[in-house]
Structure 1
Amino acid sequence: MCFSTTLRKEEKDVTKRFRATLAIQFEFTSYHHLNGFTHGNLYIIPMDNPEEIYPAMWGYVPPFGMNDPDTFWKKYNTLNARSESVFTSNTYKHSIYDKRCLIVADGFHEPHHHKNVSYPYFCHYKDDSLFAFAGLYSELDDELFSCTILTVEANEQFAEIHNRKKRMPLILDEHWEEDWLSPDLHELGIKELMKTGFTTSEIEAYPISRDLYKRGVDTNHEIAVTKVDYPELNQQSLF
């Protein structure tokens, strides 16, 4: 699962890293914490326009839900899509072929459970640089997009972090980002990328304030990325 992300970099950093420009006139807004269940905008680079960056509502809306996205979201959680089922899912099976995207981020949060208590862990590259999740998107109209983050079975590190569901978002190695957007990528190639394309960069993860889980608390600031030492967790970072 990946239900909250961070993007603290400035517009110029994002456009330089991904060699892309903002596609439409909108105010680029960085953030320390975006809760996916608010369906706020992530920033995506779609297959159709790989040199442009678009805002996209977090929570994929398929064709059968486009008439009323709010009602659709009440029935379905499409913040993440399981890579193992995207080719057979009625929700995603069409987009996996021609509506793949990069989703820009510089961090995300995963739940770690200890004695039935959930602790949010902040995960990011050790050098705190930008990266891209593998995603899918849909077009509700010419300038309105929705998206979802692909997840895969957890590797050794994330099996320790996300120790209940044992899943992780598919962070693409920078070497494979262009391939993920290629219209020439066939089914076997897509499956291979989902299986082996996870980043080789070092990821750091550590616990942060459990206020991240509280309603009515403003978490869109440093609290979302600041380490908290919990004695019961032996004050350790996971990798």
Structure 2
Amino acid sequence: MIYSLSNKSNLSSLVETLGTSFKYPILYKPRLKIEGYKEQSLSIITVEEPDLITQGIWGILPHNYEGSWKKFQRLKNTLHVHKNELRNNNLYNEALQKRRCLIIVTGFYAYYLNNNSITNFLIEKDMQKPFYLAGVYNVLEDGFVTCSVINTDADESLDSINNLHKVMPLQIPEIFKAVWLHKKSTIEEIDYILSKPYVTKFNIQEIVSYS
């Protein structure tokens, strides 16, 4: 586990803000904290269905895999992958070329280690607006989708509160949404997006307790 995610938007607000409808609206629930090691689902938009928000289990498994998610995660934690590691593992390399997704969140968590205690920080945008994270996904033999968040190096604005892990999720701005989700986008176009992390202003809130 590196960091947790947050998606506090209600369904109607999410649809209105993103201009995209849900494939399974009954399954959506706002959540202050999403911890991937508990086998959680994320709201995602895939290359296959770029006009719909669907669900993906956080923690990618091999394409057409038939085994247990929990057993696989014990062998290899796949909640996150750094952008520099995408080409070095078949689990991610093929998915980057064929199965990209956008992961919808309103924030993510960072952790600061100070002596013997850890402080949790929730990092969000103004007005707690939803935004997109870069992701890749695979489809299991039974049709379920599993996905990973793509990380990049943390920017300077988070250095003071993110000393436990020096990474952050890679954002995809609206201007690159269509390219990221287009089946015929070239690997050169995708590499360009990965190489130019989107810089944005965050609101940082210390979290004393959460449920």
TM-score by length of 2: 0.91
Q: CA RMSD in A?
A: 2.0
Partner of 2:147: 147
Note if 1:198 corresponds to 2:198: yes
Partner of 1:97: 97
Shift of 1:35: 1.0
Matched AA of 1:162: N
Structure 1 unaligned blocks of 5 or more: 212-218, 221-239
What aligned pairs does 1:199-238 form with structure 2 within 5 A after superposition?
Answer: 199-200=199-200, 202-209=201-208, 211=209, 219-220=210-211
Shift of 1:141: 4.7
Moved more, 30-39 or 115-124: 115-124
What aligned pairs does 1:61-76 form with structure 2 within 5 A after superposition?
Answer: 61-63=61-63, 65-76=65-76
Note if 1:128 corresponds to 2:106: no
Structure 2 Cα separation of the partners of residues 3 and 164 of structure 1: 10
Moved more, 163-172 or 125-134: 163-172
Partner of 1:31: 31
CA contact (8 A) 1:2 1:169 kept: no
Shift of 1:184: 2.5
Note if 1:188 corresponds to 2:206: no
Secondary structure at the counterpart of residue 140 of structure 2: strand
Shift of 1:181: 1.1
Tell me: CA distance 1:159–1:187, structure 2 relative to 1, closer, same or farther (3 Å): farther
Tell me: CA distance 1:143–1:18, structure 2 relative to 1, closer, same or farther (3 Å): farther
Moved more, 30-39 or 136-145: 136-145
Structure 1 Cα separation of the partners of residues 202 and 65 of structure 2: 36
Shift of 1:119: 1.1
Structure 2 Cα separation of the partners of residues 65 and 89 of structure 1: 16
Moved more, 96-105 or 59-68: 59-68
Secondary structure at the counterpart of residue 128 of structure 2: coil
TM-score by length of 1: 0.81
Shift of 1:2: 4.8
Structure 2 unaligned blocks of 5 or more: none
**How much identity, in percent, do the aligned residues show?**
21
Structure 1 Cα separation of the partners of residues 73 and 12 of structure 2: 33
Partner of 1:232: none
Matched AA of 1:203: F
Structure 2 Cα separation of the partners of residues 147 and 39 of structure 1: 11
Structure 2 Cα separation of the partners of residues 190 and 176 of structure 1: 10
Secondary structure at the counterpart of residue 136 of structure 1: strand
Partner of 1:226: none
Shift of 1:109: 0.7
Matched AA of 2:154: A
Note if 1:157 corresponds to 2:153: no
Structure 1 Cα separation of the partners of residues 147 and 127 of structure 2: 27
Partner of 1:230: none
Note if 1:4 corresponds to 2:4: yes
Shift of 1:33: 1.2
Structure 2 Cα separation of the partners of residues 150 and 42 of structure 1: 14
Shift of 1:113: 1.9
Tell me: CA distance 1:129–1:28, structure 2 relative to 1, closer, same or farther (3 Å): same
Moved more, 109-118 or 122-131: 109-118
Secondary structure at the counterpart of residue 138 of structure 2: strand
* Structure 1 outlier segments of 4+, above 4 Å: none
Larger Rg: 1
CA contact (8 A) 2:81 2:148 kept: yes
Matched AA of 2:204: A
Tell me: CA distance 1:181–1:97, structure 2 relative to 1, closer, same or farther (3 Å): same
